[in-house]
Amino acid sequence: MTRPRKDVKFNHGGRGSNGRARRLSSGISEMSENASDPGSPTHNGILRKDEPGSPTPLIQTEYEKKKANFITRTIWTLIMIAGFFLSMFSGHIYMIIAVTVVQIVSFKEVIAISNVPSRARSLRFTKSLNWYFLGTTMYFLYGESVIYYFKHVLLVDKILLPLSTHHRFISFTLYMIGFVFFVYSLQKGHYKFQFTQFAWSHMALFLIVGQAHFVINNIFEGMIWFFLPVAMVITNDIWAYLCGITFGRTPLIKISPKKTWEGFLGAWFFTVIFGLLYTNVMARYKYFICPVNDLGANLWSGLECKPNPVFTPHDYSLPFPVPSFLPIPTTFNIRPVQFHVLNLATLASLIAPFGGFFASGLKRTFKIKDFGDSIPGHGGMTDRMDCQFIMGSIAFMYYSSFIAVHGATVGGVIETAITGLTAEEQIEVVKILAKHLVNQDVISPKVVEYLTGHMKM
């Protein structure tokens, strides 16, 4: 018999003494025994799918994440909807405050996505200048709106009169102070970064604060001109998604691959239906259709005004003859605003989505998924408002061009009298108006006697 040689090492790694490969079951057995080791994969939750009583934790973890995100997203959606309607019903001033908060948060998110080199983070005043230009721009735009809609209040106040009459010069002076300070703060080696920040902040001011200014003007012109554009964009977004996943086949635009022509057109149809139905409801209440003349008004106190003619129903006849045997009426009694809503719904479907496409392109440029995380489950404020800003601008331009009634207003007359007439001429206007009101039996003749006796020439 041959004696075994010394110093011969047998391979125990994967083969038995007979030279054949070790059975797989032994390897699995060893893995199972090592499962209790802290470093083993199964200790961290990775188990075989076919083991009894152990569902796949990886799939469960992913499911739990999606479920938690869905719950968070739903809760915050309901919170935003409740906050929106609460602000709208509480009064115009609360809706203006909400829009102001939205534009500030959106501005913060947009200027934060630009890359800041590490060596430029020590620069002073970079962020401070961004916020200074935001404050200056808001002062100018908000002041323009307040002066336009409340001239009859501001121009008769001793303190507010100079601020009103010189508002634009004050705003321009504030901006120039920031501009001079920016030039003074330039440092060698950081010119490119500083000028990039300057341009970036001004682009954000134009795209966000400038368009938010038109949204606020819509609120001043009547709550319906604010609510309808906002609701149309939301409706269009929902139906574009539903129609797209149901029968969408044809891609719409490369920058947003999930958008389809079928979803695009289906969303337009349902947005038109929504706009016509809701306009018919809101046009019946003066709180929604009256321009703001009292910032303290709310849904319960209401507003009083002479409604815009577009809210008065008219009879319209079909422009073509209808055969007598067809049960189709030839005359319709509808409000002219319904035709305008048809146009606004079309614009909300055709133009507003490109605000979202623009935001998508911007995020792709900076390789980010969301603009921020200010709304849990939704991303940043800008992610939710990208279409709203451009639609608000469209609605204001359309209203100003085709719906607004440009007549004499109390504020306009007072502004003309204060800025264009001398004190003696203003007194003469007051006397003539008083005599006219006496002749119309609106005031007592004693008022004219009092004015004549107490006015200083």
Are 254 and 291 in the same domain? yes
* Average confidence (pLDDT) over 80-86: 91
Are 275 and 420 in the same domain? no
Q: What are the pLDDT digits (tens) for 427-437?
A: 888 888 888 88
Are 254 and 360 in the same domain? yes
Please check whether residue 182 lies inside any domain of the structure: no
Please check whether residue 363 lies inside any domain of the structure: yes
Are 349 and 448 in the same domain? no
* Average confidence (pLDDT) over 90-119: 86
User: What's the confidence (pLDDT) of residue 223?
Assistant: 94
Task: Quote the domain boundaries for residue 417.
Answer: 411-454
Please check whether residue 278 lies inside any domain of the structure: yes
The count of domains in the chain is: 2
Are 299 and 400 in the same domain? yes
Please check whether residue 421 lies inside any domain of the structure: yes
Are 248 and 392 in the same domain? yes
Are 329 and 420 in the same domain? no
Q: Where residue 120 falls among pLDDT bands split at 50, 70, 90? A: low
The pTM for the full model equals 0.77
Q: How many CA atoms lie within 13 A of 397 on its CB side?
A: 10
Are 400 and 445 in the same domain? no
Please check whether residue 288 lies inside any domain of the structure: yes
- Give Cα separations from 239 to 23, 139, 172, 264, 270 (angstroms): 58, 38, 44, 9, 7
Are 332 and 436 in the same domain? no
Please check whether residue 185 lies inside any domain of the structure: no
Are 304 and 420 in the same domain? no
Are 292 and 336 in the same domain? yes
Please check whether residue 215 lies inside any domain of the structure: no
Q: Where residue 9 falls among pLDDT bands split at 50, 70, 90? A: very low
Q: What are the pLDDT digits (tens) for 291-339?
A: 988 888 888 988 888 899 999 998 888 888 888 788 888 888 899 999 9
pLDDT at 272 over 50: yes
User: What's the confidence (pLDDT) of residue 117?
Assistant: 61
Among 217, 226, 170, residue whose Cα is nearest residue 344:
226
Lowest-confidence range among 40-54, 138-152, 176-190, 212-226?
A: 40-54
Please check whether residue 390 lies inside any domain of the structure: yes
Q: Where residue 8 falls among pLDDT bands split at 50, 70, 90? A: very low
